[in-house]
């Protein structure tokens, strides 16, 4: 049984968002959101489809330029960063995607090594062309996610859950301060979803990583997050520690704006 989430101690501010607004033409995707996230905190973003979760994440690493507001991530002012500043920022901010984004025809080990490319001066082809110490580090990360045995297997021969664990190992290889995960378990069955959430929780606590993760499963959020932020039509409508937070309180985030929208499924078992 994994460790229970603990309250976050200290006040190391890693992400500071103040009055963030993002428009796509006439669409107001993120509407005046303010949010502070601290070191070693796992924050889950919840909300109906289209509520602005992915857009908010993408504004944090500059994949989307914000329309207005302050976005400060690990001391970088993302909202006014130059291209070179964005490159520096992205070395410190790992991103985990729903569909893993591994290179299928190369080994798991080489996929993880790709996460360390930012530390090298030139591209490498083949795991053996990386420095020995980096190969050892990549193996340690694979071991961390429980897949050292599969280091030399082609990535596209792994199950979805295994591929997501390799993707997390690749992100760890980047030595990030912040990890953004956009629906990291959406393609996984409930058991594998729990395994991946547990892994994210472990690296958050043990590596003191700050994690922001979007989910559609309320029970996973209640089970693994330190804190839940709820978005509705781009606005922040909930921002609470999971300690003492009830499922009913979270479900208010899903108060329908459009009666045709359906409530998301909640398939996983609560841990506490
Ligand atoms: N690149 C884009 N161009 C135009 N509109 C966009 C773009 N990206 C997102 N939007 C719009 O912004 C709003 C918020 O989208 P976003 O993808 O952030 O929602 P979400 O909460 O992540 O939804 P889901 O749960 O379905 O992933 C939506 O109305 C969407 O159509
Ligand atoms: Mg999304």
* Gap from CA of 16 to ligand 1 centroid (Å): 22
Ligand with minimal distance to 64 CA:
1
Is the Cβ atom of 24 under 6 angstroms away from ligand 1?
A: yes
CA of 59 relative to ligand 2 center, distance in Å:
13
Q: What range defines the domain where residue 237 resides?
A: 13-99+176-254
Say yes or no: CB of residue 261 within 6 Å of ligand 1: no
Would you state the pLDDT for residue 125?
Answer: 86
Of the chain, the percentage scoring pLDDT greater than 70 comes to 90
Average pLDDT over residues 165-175: 95
pLDDT at 210 over 90: yes
Residue 158 Cα to ligand 1 middle (Å): 30
Is 266 near ligand 1, meaning CB less than 6 Å away?
no
Q: Would you say the CB of residue 29 lies under 6 angstroms from ligand 1?
A: yes
Q: Kindly give the residue spans of alpha helices, DSSP state H, lying in the chain.
A: 53-60, 83-92, 108-114, 132-144, 160-173, 190-206, 218-224, 247-251
Under 8 Å between Cβ of 214 and 49: no
In a domain, 29, yes or no: yes
In a domain, 71, yes or no: yes
Ligand 1, atom 25: closest residue by C-alpha: 49
Mutate to test the pocket of ligand 1, among 29, 45, 47 (most ligand atoms within 8 A of CB): 29
CA neighbours closer than 13 Å in the CB half-sphere of residue 194: 12
Per-residue pLDDT tens digits for 110-168: 999 999 998 888 888 888 999 999 999 999 999 999 999 999 999 999 999 999 999 99
Residue 202 lies in a domain: yes
| Angle (CA) 177 181 182, round 5° | 150
Nearest to 52 by CA among 80, 84, 83, 17: 17
Using most ligand atoms within 8 A of CB, pick from 48, 54, 212, 215 the residue to mutate for ligand 1: 54
On the question of pLDDT at 216 being above 90, the answer is yes
Burial of 185 (0-12, 13-18, 19+ CB in 10 A): buried
Q: Is 217 in the pocket of ligand 1 (CB under 6 A)?
A: no
Q: What is the pLDDT at residue 123?
A: 81
Is 38 part of a structural domain of the chain? Answer: yes
222 part of a folded domain: yes
Q: What is the pLDDT of residue 258?
A: 56
- How do residues 17-72 score in pLDDT, each as one tens digit? 999 999 999 999 999 999 999 999 999 999 999 999 999 999 999 999 999 999 99
Pull the structure tokens for residue 122.
């030139």
Beta carbons within 10 angstroms of residue 31's beta carbon: 17
Domains of the chain: total: 1
Cβ of residue 49 lying under 6 Å from some atom of ligand 1: yes
Residue 79 in any domain: the answer is yes
Ligand 1 pocket residue status of 64, Cβ below 6 Å: no
Which CATH number fits the domain that encloses residue 56? Answer: 3.40.50.300
Residue nearest (by alpha carbon) to ligand 1 atom 9? 55
Q: Would residue 181 count as lying in a domain?
A: yes
- CA 49 / ligand 2 centre spacing (Å): 7
Is 75 part of any domain?
Answer: yes
Cα four-point dihedral sign 139, 143, 145, 149: positive
């Amino acid at each position: 049984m994994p460790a229970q989430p603990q309250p976050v101690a200290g006040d190391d501010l890693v992400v500071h968002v103040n009055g963030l607004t993002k428009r796509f033409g006439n669409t107001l995707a993120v509407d005046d959101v303010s949010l502070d996230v601290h070191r070693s905190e796992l924050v889950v973003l919840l909300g109906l489809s289209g509520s602005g979760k992915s857009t908010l994440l993408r504004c944090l690493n500059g994949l989307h330029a914000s329309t207005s507001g302050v976005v400060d991530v690990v001391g970088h002012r993302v909202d006014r960063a130059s291209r070179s500043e964005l490159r520096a920022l992205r070395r410190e901010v790992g991103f985990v995607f729903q569909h893993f984004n591994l290179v299928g025809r190369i080994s798991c080990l080489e996929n993880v090594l790709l996460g360390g490319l930012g530390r090298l001066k030139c591209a490498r082809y083949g795991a053996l062309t990386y420095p020995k110490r980096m190969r050892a580090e990549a193996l340690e990360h694979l071991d961390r996610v429980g897949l050292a045995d599969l280091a030399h297997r082609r990535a596209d021969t792994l199950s979805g859950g295994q591929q997501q664990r390799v993707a997390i190992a690749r992100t760890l290889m980047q030595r990030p301060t912040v990890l953004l995960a956009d629906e990291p378990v959406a393609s996984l069955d409930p058991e594998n979803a729990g395994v991946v959430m547990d892994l994210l929780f472990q690296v958050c606590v043990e590596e003191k990583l700050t994690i922001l993760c979007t989910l559609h499963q309320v029970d996973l959020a209640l089970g693994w997050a330190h804190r839940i932020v709820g978005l509705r039509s781009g606005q922040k409508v909930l921002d609470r520690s999971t300690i003492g937070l009830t499922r009913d309180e979270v479900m208010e985030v899903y108060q329908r704006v459009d009666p045709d929208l359906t409530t998301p499924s909640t398939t996983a078992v609560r841990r506490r």
